[in-house]
Amino acid sequence: MVDVYTDTTQLANAVQAAYDRYFEFALRAQPLFRSLADKRPEQQTAPGSSVTFDLYNDLSPATATLTEDSDVTAVGIPNTSTVSVTLNEYGNAAVATRKLRVLALTNVDPAIANMIAFNAADSIDSVVQTVLRGGTNVVHVNGGTVTYNSGTTVGTAGTDTFTSKLARLSVAKLRTSKAVPQRGTLYAAYIHPEVSHDLRAETGAAAWRDPHNYSGADAIWAGEIGEYEGAFYVESPRNYNATDGASSARVFRTYFAGQQALAEACAEEFHVVIGPVIDRLNRFQPIGWYGIAGWSVYRQAALVRVETSSSIDAA
C-alpha cells in the first residue's frame, strides 16, 4: 500500500498564516518649513481674522553740506510698509468604529492618534511651503543660462542642475539686500537630496568637494552637507518639485532664507482633538486635529528661491 502522509495539505485547516501584531508606520520626512516663521505679532491689538504688520522705511541719505547760518529743511518721515497675514482654519479627522477596535489584530487607537498628529505637522508644513514658494526673488536656470528675477520655470531643462555658482549668487543677493543671516554669518538653505547630490558631485577648486576634502573629510563619509558659500544646508525630501519644466523636466525648489523671511500669526495652536461620541450605541469615536493660523512672506529681501532640475531625478 502507498503511505498517506499527514502533511500540510492533509491538515490544511491546522496550518494558518501568521501575522506580526506590531504594525510599522510609513517612512516620514520631518517637518521643517514652519521653523522659518520667526516673525510673529509682538503687541497684537485684538483677536482678528487677519493681522497687519508695519515696517518703518528709512529716510533717504542726507549728503548735502549744511550752511552755517541756515537751519535745515525738515523732511517727512516715509509712511510704513505693511504685510498682512490672513488667518484660516485647518484640520482633519478620522472616525474609528467600535467593531474595528474590538476585532482588529492590533490596538488601532494609539496608531490612529499617531497618524493624526503627524498629519497635522505634515499638512501645515505643506501650507507653509506654499507660502515660501510665493517669494518674488527667483534664480532660474534656462538652458544653462542663469538669471535673477527673470527666466521661467517652464524654461528649466533636465540638464539645468544645481551648481556652486547658484549658491554663491543666492547668498550674494541676500547680502546685497541686507538680509540678516539666520545663524551667525550664515543663511539657511533648504535643499532636496537629489539637488544636493549635484552640488556635492561637483569637482574642482571652486566646487563644494575640494574644501571639504581638506578641512573636514569626516563630513564626506557621513554624507553631511554642512556649511558652504555663506549658508548652512538642510536636506529634505519635502522641498517642492514638479514636472513643470521644459519637456516635462522635473523642477526642484531650493530656498535660501535670512531672518524674518516669513511671518506667522496663530490664533489657536494646532492640537489633537478627541471628538464626542454622539451615536446612540457609542460605536463611532472621532479623533482629529485643528488650529487657526496664517503665514505670509514678511521680508521679500530675506528670501531667494532657486529652481533647477536634478541629474538623477528619482522623485
For the stretch 210-269, pLDDT in tens is: 555 444 555 444 334 688 999 999 999 999 999 999 999 999 999 999 999 999 999 999
Report the percentage of the chain scoring pLDDT > 70: 92
What's the rounded Cα separation, in Å, for the pair 250 and 245? 6
Place of cell 578641512: 215
Kindly state the cell numbers that stand for 187. Answer: 543663511
Give the gyration radius of the chain's Cα atoms. 28
How far apart CA 57 and CA 34 sit, in angstroms, is 27
CA-to-CA distance for 133 and 154, rounded, in angstroms?
Answer: 15
Spatial CA neighbour of 254 closest among 311, 190, 313: 190
The model's confidence at residue 206, banded by pLDDT at 50, 70 and 90, is: low
Distance CA 293, CA 238 (A): 21
Separation of first and last alpha carbons in the chain: 63
The predicted structure's pLDDT at residue 204: 59
What length does the chain have? 315
Q: What average pLDDT does range 165-193 have in this prediction?
A: 96
pLDDT given at position 214: 44
Per-residue pLDDT at 2 = 87
Buried b / exposed e across 255-277, counting CB within 10 Å, b at 16+?
A: bbbbbbbbbbbbbeebeeeeeee
Whether 209 has a pLDDT exceeding 60, the answer reads no
**pLDDT tier, 203 (very low <50, low <70, confident <90, very high otherwise):** low
User: Average pLDDT in the 300-314 region?
Assistant: 93
Three-class SS state of 34? helix
3-state helix, strand, coil in the chain (%, to 5): 25, 30, 45
pLDDT tens track for 32-50: 899 999 999 999 999 999 9
pLDDT of 108 = 94
Q: Please tell me the predicted confidence (pLDDT) of residue 31.
A: 86
Could you give the percent of the chain with pLDDT greater than 90? 82
Tell me the CA distances in angstroms from 256 to 81, 147, 166, 209, 214, one per residue in order: 23, 16, 11, 20, 26
pLDDT above 90 for 289: yes
Task: Summarize pLDDT for 96-118 with one digit per residue, the tens.
Answer: 999 999 999 999 999 999 999 99
H or E, element range at 56: none
Question: How much is the average pLDDT of 154-166?
Answer: 96
Strands, E assignment, 37-148: 50-55, 81-86, 88-97, 138-142, 145-148
Residue 7: pLDDT band with limits 50, 70, 90: confident
